[in-house]
Structure 1
């Protein structure tokens, strides 16, 4: 499990592509890998990956074709920067909301507004995932726990403070980019339960 509190920015140092499998070698900031062991889970842009090898400040991860297809990891290249979060431990403070690291869909950035000391990013999700979007609800974007602002059909926005921009890769996101989305599990459970009982959410 993860909390959606991004712990830093890491850099893709090498990609090794083989039939049906891509290995990512990612370099992390100094001091961020203390206690990491082979088999540990780390969220890379919100996607839960398993450490397969380590050396100095670098970790190795394998991603299957299905993972590359369902997430934005297949678009990463040497030099790409990514958000990372190590798995939560019992007793850790939950500063965001609980995440599984299983990406539900990708969303396209449809707008970026950045007046002084503010940043608003707008996104569009596939129609099947629109029903889980609620104003002031939770959503994870590239592994970061965020609060939804406005919702209009399949589109929504989030408002970011300068610290979020500093600590994540959102400072570089531009219109047209794709991001990983994990909807809030509690919201998904409630919406799906009500739907099974015949209470469908009306179209936005």
Structure 2
């Protein structure tokens, strides 16, 4: 499990692509890999990956075909920055909201607003995911726990303070870029349960 509080920005060192599998080596800042072991879980841009190797400050991860299909990891190249968070431990402070690291869909950046000391990003999700969007609800974008501001159909925005921009890769996003999305699991469960009970259907 993860908390959605980004611990830092790492850099893709190399990507080796094979049939149905890509191996990523990612270089981490100093002092962020204490007690890391092979088999540990790390969220890279919100995607839970398993550590398969280590060379100094670089960790290796294997991303299988389904992961590459469902996330933005297939687009990563050497030099790209990524958000990272190591798995939460029992007793850790939950500063965001609980995340599984299992990406539901991707969203496209459709607008960027930058008033003084603020940044508002607008994203658009595929239509089937729009009914999970609620103003003031939780959502994870590239692994960061964020609060949804406004919802307009398939589009939603998030408001970012300077500290969030400093600590994450959001300042690098441009219109047209894609980001990984994990829907809050409580929201997902409630909406799907109501749908199964027929409450999502218009009254006849």
Instruction: Sort the TM-score into its range (normalised by shorter chain).
Output: over 0.9
Q: Quote the Cα distance in structure 2 between the aligned partners of 1:201 and 1:34.
A: 51
Q: Quote the Cα distance in structure 2 between the aligned partners of 1:110 and 1:20.
A: 30
1:57 maps to which residue? Answer: 57
1:138 maps to which residue? Answer: 138
2:8 maps to which residue? Answer: 8
Work out the number of aligned pairs and report it. 202
1:136-194 CA-to-partner distances (Å, cap 9, x unmatched) read 00000000000000001100000000000000000110110000000000000011111
2:97 maps to which residue? Answer: 97
Show structure 2 runs of 5+ residues with no match: none
Q: Quote the Cα distance in structure 1 between the aligned partners of 2:115 and 2:198.
A: 44
Q: Quote the Cα distance in structure 2 between the aligned partners of 1:97 and 1:53.
A: 29
Q: Quote the Cα distance in structure 2 between the aligned partners of 1:165 and 1:173.
A: 10
TM-score, structure 2 normalization? 0.98
1:67 maps to which residue? Answer: 67
1:180 maps to which residue? Answer: 180
Q: Quote the Cα distance in structure 2 between the aligned partners of 1:15 and 1:183.
A: 28
Q: CA RMSD of the aligned region, Å? A: 0.8
1:39 maps to which residue? Answer: 39
Residues 120 and 146 of structure 1: CA distance in aligned 2, closer, same or farther (over 3 Å): same
CA drift of 1:201 comes to 7.0
1:82 maps to which residue? Answer: 82
Q: Quote the Cα distance in structure 1 between the aligned partners of 2:16 and 2:172.
A: 25
Q: Quote the Cα distance in structure 1 between the aligned partners of 2:109 and 2:201.
A: 25
Partner SS state of residue 69, structure 1: helix
TM-score, structure 1 normalization? 0.98
1:56-91 CA-to-partner distances (Å, cap 9, x unmatched) read 111000001111111000000010000000000000
